[in-house]
Amino acid sequence: MHIDDFDYTLPEELIAQTPLAQRDGCRLMVLDRKTGSIAHRHFHDVLEYLRPGDCLVLNDSRVIPARLFGVKEQTGARVEFLLSKRIEGDVWESLVRPGRRLKPGDRVSFGDGALQAEIVGYGEDGTRQVRFEYEGIFMERLAELGRMPLPPYIERESTEEDKDMYQTVYSRIDGSVAAPTAGLHFTEELLEACRQKGVRLAYVTLHVGIGTFRPVKCEQVEEHHMHFEEYSIDPENARLINDTIDAGGRILCVGTTSTRTVESAAFNDKASAHWHVTEGHGNTDIFIYPGYEFRILDGLITNFHLPKSTLIMLISALYDREHILKAYEEAVKERYRFFSYGDAMMIL
């Protein structure tokens, strides 16, 4: 498959730059794979499409304020860090700008010295390995000095509002540098309404890395390699998912990160004659594109994704590419809002 097979035309003004005031007030496009129909609803209507006994799988990873602005101690030059993942202890992998100015041994100060860093090595794809020095608790220093890492297509600086709105209401485990954006539309009230209807809520964790922003550079899709991301499923939530499968309920993932988590953790449980998920921690570079056979997933709630991205390839594996591109064409025609702070799609 060629990368151009997953392209579409998007007017720039449809890229959402700010969140809606009401999370579940965004629009929802519902795709029915059995009938081929497209329905235009609002996100709070998602409840109508859920059945008692279904299980929603949500990614509870929490976005860290991973953008830091500091000065190089030797020269006073301004530099920017975007933390991508913790390697171990106080050593992190980070994108740095301008990269040519920062080499092993260089030191950077943030917030008048409240947080300091030393470049200790090179990482993958031009990143740096950075050791931080501070007093107290690192995440508290980061909360004081860091900014939310909004995607590059949001062409503004992050604000205090983003610290709340670029975060799901159920996020709890620090580690992502991008939000699992399909979950941004849920409110506490909507989640409670799901529970009252008899829908199970299972939480998994996949920390979203900078790979989510990286374009596919190969012309042939099959040649692309995903970056590794860390995930975990605890015993209680693995049991919730597996019990749903055994009872004949549907597994509906909220977002592509939840999808990649359950599909990475899938195994053929011969004792039950079903595919189940295994509990525990892992690292995944799973790349889902057309031809992939889903083992756990029955339906998906997601946002509208960038042209030629691995995410639009994933949803094209769930529903064929032609129908997805037709739906995106209709979304453009109907003036849906696209990407992280945009509208949502449900594929059943």
**pTM of the entire predicted model:** 0.94
Do residues 179 and 276 both lie within one domain? Answer: yes
Supply the pLDDT for residue 297. Answer: 98
Please write the tens of the pLDDT for every residue from 286-334.
999 999 999 999 999 999 999 999 999 999 999 999 999 999 999 999 9
Residue 121 has pLDDT above 90, yes or no: yes
User: Which of 92, 112, 145 is the last residue before a domain boundary?
Assistant: 145
Please write the tens of the pLDDT for every residue from 65-93.
999 999 999 899 999 999 988 899 999 99
Reference 43, options 202, 164, 241, 193; nearest CA is 193
User: Which of 119, 145, 171 is the last residue before a domain boundary?
Assistant: 145
In the chain, how long is the greatest CA-to-CA distance?
65
Do residues 227 and 113 both lie within one domain? Answer: no
- CATH number for the domain harbouring residue 106: 2.40.10.240
* CA–CA separation, 236 and 33 (whole Å): 31
3-state secondary structure of 332: helix
Q: Answer yes or no: are the C-beta atoms of 44 and 81 closer than 8 Å.
A: no
Please write the tens of the pLDDT for every residue from 20-54.
999 999 999 999 999 999 999 999 999 999 999 99
Instruction: Give me the domain span that covers residue 79.
Output: 67-145
Residues with Cβ within 8 Å of 14's Cβ and at least 6 positions away in sequence, in order, are 332, 335, 336, 337, 338, 342
Residue 151 domain flag: no
Do residues 301 and 227 both lie within one domain? Answer: yes
| Burial bucket for residue 192 (CB in 10 Å: 0-12, 13-18, 19+) | exposed
Please write the tens of the pLDDT for every residue from 149-195.
999 899 999 999 999 999 999 999 999 999 999 999 999 999 999 99
Do residues 41 and 175 both lie within one domain? Answer: yes
Do residues 84 and 225 both lie within one domain? Answer: no
* CA–CA separation, 57 and 262 (whole Å): 9
Angle, CA 249 vertex, CA 246 and CA 253 arms, to 5°: 110
Tokens of 124: 């993958």
What is the number of domains present in the chain? 2
Do residues 11 and 112 both lie within one domain? Answer: no
Residue 337 domain flag: yes
